[in-house]
Amino acid sequence: MRKLYMDLVTDKKAIRLIHLIYFLADTSDLLTMEDVAANLGVTKKTLKSDLALLQEYSPEIDGFVQVKKETIIFNRDSTYTIEEILSDIIDQQPLFTLLSALLDGEEYSIETWCERIWLSERTLRRYLPNLTEVLERYNLTLQLSPFLALIGEEANIRYLYFDYTSQRGWREEDVHLDKTIQKFYYEFQESFLTKYQQVLTLDANRAKLWHHVILQRVTKHLFIPPRPNVKQKYPMTERFDVFSEIYDQLMKKYFAIENLPYEEHIYAYVVTLASVIYLPPEGEIYSINLTRKHSYENKYNSIFDFKDSLPLDPFKSKEMYHCVNSFLENLSLLSRVTPLFQRNSWELNQYAQTEFPEIYHACLTKLKQVRLAHDAPLVYPEDIATNLSLLFSSYLIDTTIENNKKILLSISGEACYVQHLIALLKKRIPGNFDIVWVFNEKINEEYIKKEGIDVIIYNHVMLIPIEGCLNIKVSQFPATGELERLTKKLFEL
């Protein structure tokens, strides 16, 4: 579970339950009650109480964790992911209820909130510093009087809203509630691609989440504030004019929203960059370039020339540098809206530094020579180094051979997260599988049959159940137990 969520959990019992689930999911052994209690630093009596409490939070836990006499068994054949079990616990925590409402623009006094979430004022005030600490990471503050409210730039509030929603992950009930957004996105994508053929390699699920966030804030009349002389600062291309026209038409058609401010069109256009995947299944990488300049294409090649210090595949250098230049150009455009777009999760930063320390430190050193385009500030170099190190790790010399079974990976998330999960899964996938990457197609049975897919591994809500092949869902950050279950199913196949 992402650190953002863990930091918002304040109840000691809930924290113990989360640690218990992760401990069981990360071990391969059958453990006695005494073993588990000792490892978690609790008494056997407390452990028994916690196991009983798990069933109250989530009835499905019986299929996930089983207790037989004095032995605890983590069920690796369960169809549930770690996140699906944890979300039942976390969604009931008071700060999640409060933050969800604040992001939707609900404003009440502390006294009213105490009545709504069944807490004493003393307890709520004790919890609020946890929320304040999280908000500070997004350059936001919490207004306490006369009512609780988020204070800060609208773009930063939207970034938090998106981060909060995407880290939680869409579940079946959320998707059904947002069918209109699904239709809006698909018509928008088809209209745009009809004009420009293949324009971007996009993560569809991530793009739909951004549309969800934009819509929620716009319907509350919470607009991106106008910037001075914005038309002079952001010279538009023909592509933006097409984007703006389609966007305006569909917002009217699906949501009856008219007369959107010019800044909202720019914001919707720019945040699409956050859905670009810099490791496509095939073909080229594209960037949305707001200006008419195209000289950026080779701007960063010489800076990120590692000579022979890293074992990068020389036959893929053209594609690799195209990725690097597109990523940094797009990042500079995003950073003009808010530097928060440079941020990565704590887990991704830890993964990059642990798994690829040489590449990470090399990228961090090179970034000292980088000046982003459009005078965009480079505020979080460590996070950008994570993106770049995971991107470069995708181009290390590959010694794998052609295989005879096909796995389709449908992975949703920010660009460096996708590369992280791909690297993690490749370690667990047996050598006789050929991996097919699909990030943004509408996966259906016709496509599966045509490509001869044997397995689909995915981390998002699959809108249409796919028959005729093995479907395996994984968490955004899978625990060891989930990965072992995945490997077991693949070897059985």
pLDDT at 89: 78
- Separation of alpha carbons 42 and 33, rounded Å: 11
* Residue 98, both tokens: 């409060």
pLDDT at 81: 72
- Core vs surface per residue 204-219: b (16+ CB within 10 A) or e: bbbbbbbbbbbbbbbe
Q: How would you class 8 by CB atoms within 10 Å of its CB: exposed for 0-12, middle for 13-18, buried for 19 or more? A: buried
Count, residues in the chain: 493
Q: Would you give the DSSP letter of residue 412?
A: -
- Separation of alpha carbons 123 and 28, rounded Å: 39
Spans of the chain below 70 pLDDT: 1-2, 28-29, 57-66, 68, 73-80, 168-177, 193, 196-201, 228-238, 279-297, 398-404, 413-416, 430-432, 437-442, 461-465, 481, 493
The answer to whether the 3-80 and 405-492 domains have the same CATH topology is no
Q: How would you class 68 by CB atoms within 10 Å of its CB: exposed for 0-12, middle for 13-18, buried for 19 or more? A: exposed
Contact partners, residue 332, CB within 8 Å, separation at least 6 = 372, 373, 374, 376
Q: Quickly list DSSP for 41-106.
A: T--HHHHHHHHHHHHHH-GGGGGTEEEETTEEEE-TT-S--HHHHHHHHHTTSHHHHHHHHHHTT-
pLDDT at 58: 61
pLDDT at 199: 47
pLDDT at 64: 60
pLDDT at 220: 86
pLDDT at 171: 60
pLDDT at 157: 95
pLDDT at 293: 45
Which phi and psi angles does 149 have, rounded to 5°?
-160, 155
- Separation of alpha carbons 491 and 91, rounded Å: 35
pLDDT at 174: 61
Q: What does the domain layout of the chain look like in residue ranges?
A: 3-80, 94-152, 172-274, 276-393, 405-492
Sheet holding 455-458, edge to edge: 433-437, 405-410, 455-458, 470-473
* Residue 464, both tokens: 């249409």
Right CATH number for 3-80 from 2.30.30.140, 3.90.340.10, 1.10.10.10, 1.10.645.10?
1.10.10.10
Contact partners, residue 184, CB within 8 Å, separation at least 6 = 211, 250, 254, 255
Pair type for strands 141-143 and 149-151:
antiparallel
Rg from Cα positions in the chain: 24
Query: Domain 405-492, what fold?
Result: Rossmann fold (3.40.50)
pLDDT at 76: 57
Q: How would you class 268 by CB atoms within 10 Å of its CB: exposed for 0-12, middle for 13-18, buried for 19 or more? A: buried
Right CATH number for 94-152 from 1.10.3470, 3.40.1620, 2.60.120, 1.10.10?
1.10.10
pLDDT at 75: 63
